[in-house]
Amino acid sequence: MADLRAGWAVRGKPPGSYDEYRVTGCGGPDFSATDYAHILRHFALGTPSPGRSGPAALPWITISEVRGADDGTRIGIALEDWTGEADGAGRPIAETRYFCVPYEALRAAPVSYAGLYEALAAAAPPFPADGLDLHVPALDPTEPAATIERFGVQRVAAAASLLLDGPVTITNAPDLSASDRLAFLDAVAALLPYGWRTRFSAATWDQSGNRNVSLAFARRVRDRTTELDWRTPRLPERSNAGRAYARMLVELLGEGGRSPADVIAHLAAAGEPLADADPGTAIHVLGRPVAVVQDQRDLVDVRELLRSGRYRELADARSVLSELIRADDPGDVPLLRGCWTAIAGTSDAPYRELCGAARRVVWGGAAAVDGRNAAQYVELAGDLGRADDLLAVLLGPAGRGEDETVGAATAALIVLDAVDPAAAARWPATLDALAASPGVLCALITELAFGPPDSLVAWFRMLTRHLPESLLDPFCDVLFVPLRPAEPKGLEALAEHGTGCVSDLVTLASDMQRLGYVLPGLADWLTARDRVPANERMQLTIRLTQARSSEPDERGVLDGLLLWLGAPPRHVTGVRAGGHEGYWDGFRSVWTRTMPAPRTDRRPEILASWVRAGGWAGSAGGADAVLRLVRELTAGLPDEGRPLARALLAARARVPGIDRAAMYRIWWDEAVRRCPELLEEFSA
């Protein structure tokens, strides 16, 4: 446990006033109100939109570093959220709380950013004028290690490595909560030396394009920053500190390397401040003191040895060949092809190294090359008569440190390009590997679904001869005429092949506008289960959130299933008044189902919390659609409707003017007739 004395500041405005935002209070020995105002402006994230839902919605969390008058670094955490009050113009008020602690105190007793944030969130004003005493748990390397496993080593390592070369913007991330985004930022910092925190700043959302924040989630790439696309995270491409650091992380965290927790513990012990250090210092801290320029020059020399033929002068030319293979650059394949026979001969070791390089390129172990270029390795293996073997290696299930989403999609593209379905006899190992790697198979089917119909038919003719029906039949139901509804038993059998298979089927049906053939069976299968594992629940939640349908009843089922999984609704706000009846029918078909024992039914609580927050009012037609849903639940299910009615009444503070909406007046008149006690609790 770390005992810390924190300086603090609060920025906001008095309720009912017409004042501008200002620092309304501060304390601690390090900074004045003017200093805090400058700090908060320096790391400002933009103006939040009232009632907005989605990734840009408050709360926003900011990590910062700032120098004090003694030239020592302070590490800061800011939390910006709505107060539930409004100013004189009726606009909701956002308040920012900011804490900062001396870095030297953290150096002596390292803690995580998540730990600091939890201390900030738990503290209640008024705060002491001389500073606030915090008790923060010591950094536990297993916690960020678990986050790395959750989000993928490549994604976290890419962000950490890219930061060595400058600010980074994370785009196209799923609709993660603020705490999930903070966990990701914390994991990124954990893969850098602890002393890097003296130059590290980050935000769970940046609406302003502020380059003073070195790492931030945002809707689009901020000016003069490097993009990290969440969907396809790539390690640094340029030959600089970031690229070298990435290669070392991949080596350390790859198969046969050290665990993420071990690496994090090693880096946490490196507390020497790096605010003014060369980025290359981080490379030495990580454990391999090799200068970046020298590292790149050596590789150039290796290529020249092979290109010129001077490798023949070496006693062990095979080591030179191995070094080039381990560079994991598909662009070297022509050079490898030219000298392979002369150096490798009939030895199997270089071929195994080639398989390893291809695997790392596809599944995230290579230094920022496009994984699809690994097809060049397949071509070289074809020259050696071993293309089937190499493809089978590429298709193996994701291992530790590999990004399953990116790797599966890339491997599927390579297989689609390399394999002729009319010559299945040439690819026995590839087909066996496909059967054992359902993630790749699902990605392959998705690619085929939107390609030439003849290719889809030819591939399925081959696949049905070699792969189990339980893995293919649910996809056939939505791909081939006559279309058939997915059966709960079929989905149960599909899920046995891998937790992501059902999620992939949902996405495919959504993309093909055939959700109606999947949702009824999905609802029957999902609601009959007494347990849904956390990773499967997260995958299904993301896919159901991302699903798109123009049919109101399907949107209702989607929201019903999201609530079943413990997530708020996402599709009601897009339903027009004319589609409400269909939406309600679909929603009610899931809502009225009984949660199987021993699970606790938290749906009313989750829905009420979502209604109370008021974010739904930010989208066009959102308020009307939600009011209609609340009206139905209040009228048809009074026991569940009462807490929902109270949540809607509480939301008035966050959604100015909602009580003037026509549908609100209709609902209110009906609600007080059914629940007269509401009149005593709230004023219309």
What number is the average pLDDT over the span 304-320? 79
- 3-class state of residue 360 by DSSP: helix
Which of the two residues, 678 and 482, has the higher pLDDT score?
482
392-407 pLDDT, tens digit per residue, is 999 988 776 677 778 8
Assess contact for 667 and 634: CB atoms under 8 A. yes
According to DSSP, the β-strands at 168-171 and 226-229 are parallel
Mean pLDDT of 324-330: 87
* Strands 73-86 and 60-67, bridge-based pairing: antiparallel
The mean per-residue pLDDT over the stretch 464-479 comes to 94
| The predicted structure's pLDDT at residue 396 | 85
Q: 346: which residues sit within 8 A by CB, 6+ positions away?
A: none
Average pLDDT over residues 119-123: 86
Structure tokens at 607: 């829905």
Give the residue among 573, 680, 676 at the shortest CA–CA distance from 627. Answer: 573
> What is the rounded CA–CA span in Å between residue 226 and residue 168?
5
Distance CA 228, CA 670 (A): 51
pLDDT for the residue 174: 87
Is pLDDT at 661 greater than 90 in this prediction? no
Say what the pLDDT of residue 206 is.
93
Largest CA distance in the chain: 96
Q: Taking CA 612 as the corner, what is the angle to CA 127 and CA 177, rounded to the nearest 5 degrees?
A: 70
Helix residue ranges, H only, 528-579: 534-546, 552-564
Q: Give the pair of three-digit tokens for residue 197.
A: 């925190």
CA distances from residue 37 to 11, 70, 85, 145, 252 in whole angstroms, order as listed: 8, 19, 22, 35, 42
pLDDT in the model for residue 432: 93
At 81 the three-state DSSP class reads strand
Output the pLDDT for position 365. 44
> In terms of pLDDT, which residue wins out, 339 or 675?
339
Q: What is the DSSP letter of 19?
A: P
Q: pLDDT tier at 55 (50, 70, 90 boundaries)?
A: confident
Q: Where are the alpha helices (DSSP H) in 347-427?
A: 349-363, 375-383, 387-395, 404-418
The structure tokens listed for 382 are 């074809």
Mean pLDDT of the region 478-506: 93
Contact (Cβ atoms closer than 8 angstroms) between residue 198 and residue 274:
yes
pLDDT over 70, % of the chain: 94
pLDDT digit string, tens, across residues 79-116: 999 888 888 888 899 999 999 999 999 998 899 999 99
Distance CA(230)–CA(192), nearest Å, equals 19
Give me 518's structure tokens.
């999947």
Q: Write b or e for each residue in 585-596: b if 16 or more Cβ atoms lie within 10 A of its Cβ, otherwise e.
A: ebbbbbbebeee
Both tokens assigned to 460: 């399925």
Which pLDDT band holds residue 377 (cuts at 50, 70, 90)? very high
d(Cα 515, Cα 510) in Å, to the nearest integer? Answer: 5
Q: Is the pLDDT of residue 367 over 70?
A: no
Per residue in 270-304, pLDDT (tens digit) is: 888 998 888 878 888 886 433 333 343 367 778 88
Instruction: Decide if pLDDT at 368 tops 70.
Output: no
**C-alpha to C-alpha distance for 591 and 27, rounded to whole angstroms:** 49
| Whole-number percent of the chain with pLDDT over 90 | 52
Check: CB of residue 587 under 8 Å from CB of residue 556.
yes
Bridge partners of residue 587, in order along the sequence:
none
Strands 2-12 and 132-136: antiparallel
* Residue 683 pLDDT grade (very low, low, confident, very high; cuts 50, 70, 90): low
DSSP conformational letter for 656: T
- Map residue 94 onto helix, strand or coil: strand
Binning pLDDT at 50, 70 and 90, where does residue 242 land? confident
Residue 205, φ and ψ in degrees, nearest 5 = -165, 135
Task: Indicate whether 36 pLDDT > 80.
Answer: yes
Q: Where are the domains of the chain?
A: 1-290, 300-462
Structure token digits, residue 123: 């503290």
Among residues 383, 391, 388, 382, the alpha carbon closest in space to that of 413 is found at 391
Higher pLDDT, residue 124 or 391:
391
Residue 315 pLDDT greater than 70, yes or no: no
The whole-angstrom separation of Cα 127 and Cα 133 is 10
